[in-house]
Structure 1
Amino acid sequence: MKTICDKVNLIPIIPKADGLTEAELALHKDIVRQEILQNDIHVFDFKSDNLGETLALYDMDVDSNPGKSKYSRDTKIKDISPFAIICSNAIRTTAENSVEHIREYEWGSLIVEDQTTSDFIYLKAILLGSHLQELKDVTNNVLYENYRADILTEKKIHCDIPNYSYMDEGSRESISNVSTGRSSSSRTLGNLDLNDENAYKIYKEIDEKNKIIEDYQKKIDSLERMLTGPDKSKA
């Protein structure tokens, strides 16, 4: 998780939740949350989003039938994570012609979508409904751009550019001629002989890439400020 948390949106889950009691599941969730904090693992930030807004997209209301849910409408999504998941191994059709994903055991079966035994329905509503666009935006505008900037920075070639304040007038004029493309009898920059056409092209390419990197960093900083701004509920 530590390796990939800056490259993808991470939403932690606890699989095989049907093998845990309620007390064991609560303990596992606390342990996972502590491990995430202690190891500085970046997971998807649900901010102050609550469960009611998410389930509304599925025409579900946890308050309309409290016996079917462990949570209320005002429960924060981040307080549910990591999500307790049960995987199905069979499908059945009800009398109302609706499809149920179930897990069969020797003693009976569990419905995966049952809110009392699994958080699957909440995770489904988040991934395919309420937060789908936000997940895409974070991937495209933050994670990818950060990765792109890191790669460009790693490939960036650093030139030993002299400090103008310690240069005599002749040296400054020589550098000025290089930057403006004017010819000079002796053009050098660090270890680059800028009289050489290929070396001069390398210098110009480096300069252009450095400007691109700076522009991308400004965009990334702006997007991060936007994403860490006021909660959507206060917008």
Structure 2
Amino acid sequence: MAGMRNSYDRDYIGFATLPEQVHRKSVKRGFDFTLMVIGETGLGKSTLINSLFLGDLYKNRVVPSVTERLERTTQIEKKQMEIEERGVKLRLTIVDTPGFGDSINCEESWRTVVQYIDDQYRQFFTDESGLNRRNIQDNRVHCCLYFIPPYGHGLRQMDIDFLRRLHKKVNVVLVIAKADALTTNELKRLKANVLADLETHKIDLYQFPDCDSDEDEEFKQQDRELKESIPFAIVASSNLVEVGGRKVRCRTYSWGCVEVENPQHSDFIKLRRMLISTHMQDLKDTTQDVHYENYRAQCISQISQHAMRDRSKSKRESVSSNDTVSETDRLLLQKDEEIRRMQDKLVQMQEKLKTNTILEMNKKNDSVIDV
């Protein structure tokens, strides 16, 4: 046994502890996550957030009167809290949008939200390009919960206009609010209509990553259930009621109660599992690798084009100031113009490639569903 142990020790290098090193470093540093919630007043956004993270972020909120709501514009309201669970710290930022959809004219409700998302990308790009890159604070929106009212037959025109401007900038997850207002058949019909509207208007929601082949069957089943539940039908409540000898969160009616964490009553458990337990890191990775990279590529392309135009303009001015134009200067100007045209074509090709990639992913998902 001693000889075998010595042989093992000689063959052991030690890099197998790298995951443990990364884990210790990550836990020590903590994690950041920014969640944006968008929807009309009264759809239960605050209640859902309090139920998800077991806190009370809105205890000091003042509900505006009807007259004030009609004249309100969309605003940005940030709330932060630190949560610790089993030694892991999470710095959570909730970005709320009071006033969204409350006014009579809601055509410009999207502008404030889109500007805020772009501002966070711009700030991160500026910090990333600066000298002090070690302590960059990530305030980018990693996920957006968009609330759909239970009334209606699908997405409204306001919803469609907003999502078309938002779905390429942030991970969008749709939530049907106060789903206990609908019967089972009505809820199925609403979900089908919403998915049909998304496909008609080519709106992309957050795509769950496919399971690896080596995952266990239970995890694969949970992944299938999450994908089949989109959009999530939610019932939220902060009231604890004793039912069957145990305390549960539920909405109480004269005929009984609707349990928040009962899968037969609500998709709350599935939403919480997706948002916190299984896909939080993937939401952050998708924000970094897809949405932010698209914004970063556009910024670099614009900076290059502006620099090229400024250089061409300065050269033209210097050439025009001379009486004789040398053949070398003329060739340089032609080359600059050719490079500018090539850059424009490159940007067009990148947009076309991105569109084709999205179409291929949609076809792949459709084929998987058919199978």
Normalising TM by the smaller chain, what interval?
Answer: 0.5 to 0.7
Q: CA deviation at 1:34?
A: 0.5
Q: Find the aligned partners of 1:89 and 1:32 in 2 and give their Cα distance.
A: 28
Larger radius of gyration: 1
The one-letter code sitting in structure 2 at the alignment partner of 1:85 is I
Is the aligned partner of 1:138 residue 2:300? no
Question: What is the match of residue 206 of structure 2?
Answer: 44
Question: What is the match of residue 254 of structure 2?
Answer: 106
Q: Deviations over 1:34-89 (max 9, x none)?
A: 01111111111125559xx79968xxx9xxxxxxxxxx658453222111101114
Deviating 4+ runs (over 6 angstroms): 93-96
Q: Find the aligned partners of 1:146 and 1:54 in 2 and give their Cα distance.
A: 34
Contact 1:48 1:76 in 2 (8 A): no
Identity %: 30
Q: Find the aligned partners of 2:252 and 2:182 in 1 and give their Cα distance.
A: 16
Residues paired across the two proteins, number = 172
Q: Find the aligned partners of 2:239 and 2:218 in 1 and give their Cα distance.
A: 27
Aligned pair partner of 2:183 in 18, 21, 32 = 21
Contact 1:86 1:112 in 2 (8 A): yes
Map residues 115-154 of structure 1 onto 2, 5 A cutoff: 115-154=263-302
Q: CA deviation at 1:175?
A: 7.3
Q: Find the aligned partners of 2:256 and 2:299 in 1 and give their Cα distance.
A: 53
The one-letter code sitting in structure 1 at the alignment partner of 2:268 is F
Is the aligned partner of 1:86 residue 2:248? no
SS in 1 for 2:165: coil
Q: Find the aligned partners of 1:74 and 1:4 in 2 and give their Cα distance.
A: 25
Q: Find the aligned partners of 2:243 and 2:256 in 1 and give their Cα distance.
A: 16
Q: CA deviation at 1:100?
A: 2.7
The one-letter code sitting in structure 2 at the alignment partner of 1:84 is A
The one-letter code sitting in structure 1 at the alignment partner of 2:291 is L
The one-letter code sitting in structure 2 at the alignment partner of 1:80 is S
Question: What is the match of residue 195 of structure 1?
Answer: none
Question: What is the match of residue 30 of structure 1?
Answer: 192
The one-letter code sitting in structure 2 at the alignment partner of 1:88 is S
Q: Find the aligned partners of 1:12 and 1:132 in 2 and give their Cα distance.
A: 16
TM-score, normalised with respect to structure 2: 0.38
TM-score, normalised with respect to structure 1: 0.57
Cα distance change, pair 107–46 in 1 and its aligned pair in 2 (3 A): same
Q: Find the aligned partners of 1:49 and 1:12 in 2 and give their Cα distance.
A: 22
Q: CA deviation at 1:14?
A: 1.1
Contact 2:226 2:274 in 1 (8 A): no
SS in 2 for 1:101: strand
Moved more, 72-81 or 122-131: 72-81
Cα distance change, pair 42–73 in 1 and its aligned pair in 2 (3 A): closer
SS in 2 for 1:6: coil
Is the aligned partner of 1:2 residue 2:164? yes
Question: What is the match of residue 65 of structure 1?
Answer: none
Q: Deviations over 1:2-22 (max 9, x none)?
A: 111111101112111101111
Q: Deviations over 1:191-213 (max 9, x none)?
A: xxxxxxxxxxxx9xxx9xx8xx9
Contact 2:237 2:250 in 1 (8 A): yes
Q: Which runs of 5+ in 2 are unaligned?
A: 1-162, 313-325, 366-371
Q: Find the aligned partners of 2:187 and 2:180 in 1 and give their Cα distance.
A: 9
Contact 1:55 1:125 in 2 (8 A): no
Q: Find the aligned partners of 2:235 and 2:182 in 1 and give their Cα distance.
A: 11
Contact 1:91 1:101 in 2 (8 A): yes
Cα distance change, pair 14–42 in 1 and its aligned pair in 2 (3 A): same
Q: Find the aligned partners of 1:101 and 1:126 in 2 and give their Cα distance.
A: 20
Task: With a CA cutoff of 8 Å and minimum separation of 6, indicate the structure with the bigger relative contact order.
Answer: 1
